[in-house]
Structure 1
Amino acid sequence: MNDLTTGNEAKSIFFFSLPMLIGSLFQQLYNTADSIIVGQFIGKDAMAAVSGANPIMFLLTSLLMGVSLGFSILISQYYGSKDMKKVKATIDTTYIFVFITSLIITVIGILFSGSILKFMNTPDSILEQSKLYLMVIFSGTLFSSGYNSVSAILRGLGDSTTPLYFLIISTILNIILDVVFIINFKMGVEGVALATIIAQGMSFIISVIYLNKKHDILKFKIKGIIYDHEIFKLGLKLGVPSGLQQMLFGFGNIMLQSLVNSYGTSAMAAFGASSKIETFISLPIMNLGAAVSTFVAQNMGAGETERVKKGVKASLKMALGISIFVCGLFILFRSQLVSLFNSDEEVISIGSAYLITIGPFFIFICTSFMLSSAIKGAGDSVFALISSMISLWLARIPACYFFSSLFGVNGIWMGIPVGWILGFIITAIYYRGGKWKTKSIVNSRNKDIFSDLELANTSSEE
C-alpha cells in the first residue's frame, strides 16, 4: 500500500501510474491480439461481429464499473484519513455489491443481447456470430468484475503494482488460449470469448488467493464479511453518477455503432480496428488520470488541498506532452496500424480516415480527462455526469449523424472531436471555479478548508 499524501507530487503520480500503464498495455495487448487473430485467421465478418458486440458489453457493465469507482474513491479517502476500520468495511461492502450486480448483468446480457444487436442494425450476416460471442462473454461476468474490483481496491489503497502481476498472467494465458482455440481448434468468435473469460477467471482466483495470504484487511471471506449500509449509501452517492455517465457513454457508443453498422461490415471492421488503436495510444492518459483520481482522493482525505493543486498541474503537463506525441503517431502511421488488423483495402482506407480525422484534436480529450479525473477523486462525480451528457448528447452524437449525412461514413469521424472540444470547455470552466474542492466526503480538516473556500469565494464575489 502506498501513501500518496507525502513526497514530490509529480513523482508520486508518475510512479503510481507507471504499473497501471504497463498493466493496461498488457490488457490492451490481449484485446488487440484478439482482434488481430480474428481479423487475420477468421475474417472480416468475424472481426465486425466482435466489434459490433463490444458496445453492448460495455453498456451492460458500465454501471457496475462506475459504482465500483465510487467505492474505490471512498476507500482512498478513508485510507488518506487513516481510518482503517472504515477501509475494511468499505472493501467488504464492495465485494457484496459486485457479486450481486454481476449475477444480474449475466442474466440480462444472455437474455437480451440478440434484441439489442437487432436494434443496432447489425447485419444479418454477422448477427448470430455477435450474439454467440456476447453469450459466452456474459457468462463470465463474475470473473471479470471480480478481478477488476480487486484491482480497483488495491489501487485505492495506493498499490498499483500487484494488479499488474495478475494482469500479466491473464494476458499471457489469453493469447495462448486464442492461438489454441482459433488456430489449432478452428473455433470461431466463441473461441475468442472463451479464451477471455478463462483468462480473467484464472486471474481473479489468483488475486483472491494472494489477498487472503498477504493482507488481513483485504481478506476475501464469506464468513464474517461486513456489510455497512451507510458506507453502501456513500459509495452509491459517489459511484452512481459515474456509473450513469458510463452508461450514457455506453448508450452513445451503441448509437454510434448503429450508425457505423448502416455502412456495412467494412466500416464496422475499420471502426473496430481504429477504436482499438485509439484506445491503445490513449492508455498513458487513462492511467495517468486514474493515478490522479487516487492521488486527489487520498490528499483530500488528509486535508492536503495545496498538494492536490500542485499534483493536478504536474499531471496536466505530462498529459499535454503525451497527447502531442500520440497525435503524430495517429497521423504518420495510420495505414500501417489499421493493416495490422485486416488487409482489406476498404477497411484500411476507412480506418485511416478515422485516425487522421481525430488525431489533431486528441489534446482536448486528454486535458479534459485529467481535469475530470481530479474532480472525481475529490468526490464530485455529479459534474462528470452532467458534462458527459452535454458533450455526448448535445454535440458528439448529433454532429456524427449530421456530418455523415453530408460526407458518408467519414463524416461520422468528423463529429467525434466536436464532443471532445465542448467537453473540454465545460470541464475547464468548472475546474477553475473550484466548487469541486468542497465535495470530499472524508477530510481530516474539513472545517478549516470549507471556511477558507467560503472566504475565497466571498472575496472573489466582492
Structure 2
Amino acid sequence: PAGTQSVLVSLANTFIQVAINGFGAKAVAGVAVANRVDGFIFVVMNAIGLSVMTFTGQNIGAGKPDRVRRGLYTGVAMVVGMALALGWLVLGFAPSIVSLFNDDPYVSAYTIRMMRFILPFYFLFGVNDVIGGFLRGRGKSLVPMIVSLVFMTGFRLLWIWLVTPVWSSIDVVFMAYPISWVLTFVVLFVYLLKTYGLRSDRQEEKTLDPL
C-alpha cells in the first residue's frame, strides 16, 4: 500500500506539473528549483515518519502502549518543529538560497512564490507522514493509502481539471498542495481520534497483543 500511495501521489503531481507548464519556461524552471529546495525538507519529514512506523511496530510487539503513544506525540512534535524551523529559515534567506540554483530574476520570482505557498504549511505534510507511519506500524496501511488516494491524488486532479481553468493563475495551482494537506490531516486526525484517541493504556494494551 505504501508503494501504491507513492505512485498515485506522483501521478497527481505530474498533472500539476502539466498545468505549470502552461505558464511558460520561466515558471517551469522556477518550480524545478523550488522542488529541489523542498526536497531537503521532505527528506527530514519522511525520515521521521518512517522512524515512527518502525518504533510503533516494535513497541506493539513488546506490548508497551505508553511508548506507542509517546512515539506518535514525539514524532508529531519533531516534524512540526523541524518543518516550521526549516521552512521559515528557507523563506528568510530565500533570495540567497535560490541564487545558488539560478540567477534569472524571473525564475527566482516563481521559485520564491511557490515556496511562500507551501512552506508555511509544510508541517501538515510532516504530521500526515507521522500519522501514516503510526497507522502502518499498527498494521493499518490501507487507511493512509486510501486517504492519500482521495485527497493527495483525487482532490489535486479535480483541482487542476475544474478550478485552474476558471482561475488561470499559477497561485491557484500552488494552492492544491496546502489544501490537500489540510484535508488529508483532518481525515487522518478524525480517524486516529475515533480509533485510538479515547482508549486508556489498559484498553490499548489489549489491542497490542502480537498473538
TM class by shorter-chain length?
0.7 to 0.9
TM-score if structure 1 supplies the norm length?
0.41
Partner of 2:2: 242
Are residues 1:295 and 2:55 paired? yes
Measure the CA separation in 1 of the matches of 2:174 and 2:150: 19
Amino acid at match of 2:18: S
Partner of 2:167, secondary structure, is helix
Q: Does the 8 A contact of 1:320 with 1:363 survive in 2?
A: yes
Are residues 1:354 and 2:114 paired? yes
Partner of 1:316: 76
Residue 423 of structure 1, CA deviation? 0.6
Partner of 1:259: 19
Partner of 1:20: none
Calculate the aligned-residue CA RMSD, in Å.
2.3
Are residues 1:390 and 2:150 paired? yes
Measure the CA separation in 1 of the matches of 2:130 and 2:94: 25
For each residue in 1:203-237, what CA deviation from the matched residue of structure 2 results, as whole angstroms up to 9, or x when unmatched?
A: xxxxxxxxxxxxxxxxxxxxxxxxxxxxxxxxxxx
Are residues 1:412 and 2:173 paired? yes
Measure the CA separation in 2 of the matches of 1:394 and 1:431: 22
Measure the CA separation in 1 of the matches of 2:156 and 2:121: 13
Partner of 1:426: 187
Amino acid at match of 1:381: S
Q: Does the 8 A contact of 1:399 with 1:416 survive in 2?
A: no
For each residue in 1:158-211, what CA deviation from the matched residue of structure 2 results, as whole angstroms up to 9, or x when unmatched?
A: xxxxxxxxxxxxxxxxxxxxxxxxxxxxxxxxxxxxxxxxxxxxxxxxxxxxxx
Amino acid at match of 2:58: Q
* Runs of 5+ consecutive residues of structure 2 not aligned to the other structure: 198-204
Q: Does the 8 A contact of 1:330 with 1:356 survive in 2?
A: no
For each residue in 1:64-108, what CA deviation from the matched residue of structure 2 results, as whole angstroms up to 9, or x when unmatched?
A: xxxxxxxxxxxxxxxxxxxxxxxxxxxxxxxxxxxxxxxxxxxxx
Partner of 1:434, secondary structure, is helix
In the superposition, relative to structure 1, how do residues 289 and 393 fare at CA in structure 2: closer, same or farther (>3 Å)? closer
Amino acid at match of 1:276: R
Measure the CA separation in 2 of the matches of 1:358 and 1:399: 16
Are residues 1:449 and 2:206 paired? yes
For each residue in 1:105-151, what CA deviation from the matched residue of structure 2 results, as whole angstroms up to 9, or x when unmatched?
A: xxxxxxxxxxxxxxxxxxxxxxxxxxxxxxxxxxxxxxxxxxxxxxx
Are residues 1:275 and 2:35 paired? yes
For each residue in 1:298-342, what CA deviation from the matched residue of structure 2 results, as whole angstroms up to 9, or x when unmatched?
A: 112222222111111122222222122123124212222222111
Partner of 2:200: none
Q: Does the 8 A contact of 2:41 with 2:86 survive in 1?
A: yes
In the superposition, relative to structure 1, how do residues 334 and 407 fare at CA in structure 2: closer, same or farther (>3 Å)? farther
For each residue in 1:385-420, what CA deviation from the matched residue of structure 2 results, as whole angstroms up to 9, or x when unmatched?
A: 111012123433333452474242232112211101
Q: Does the 8 A contact of 2:63 with 2:208 survive in 1?
A: no
Measure the CA separation in 1 of the matches of 2:122 and 2:54: 24
Measure the CA separation in 1 of the matches of 2:97 and 2:158: 29
Measure the CA separation in 1 of the matches of 2:114 and 2:75: 28
Q: Does the 8 A contact of 2:5 with 2:149 survive in 1?
A: yes
* Counterparts of residues 64-143 of structure 1 (less than 5 Å): none
Residue 353 of structure 1, CA deviation? 0.2
Partner of 2:184, secondary structure, is helix
Measure the CA separation in 2 of the matches of 1:391 and 1:421: 9
**Which of the pair has the greater relative contact order for Cα pairs under 8 Å at 6+ separation?**
2
Amino acid at match of 1:343: D
Amino acid at match of 2:143: F
For each residue in 1:15-56, what CA deviation from the matched residue of structure 2 results, as whole angstroms up to 9, or x when unmatched?
A: xxxxxxxxxxxxxxxxxxxxxxxxxxxxxxxxxxxxxxxxxx
Partner of 1:326: 86
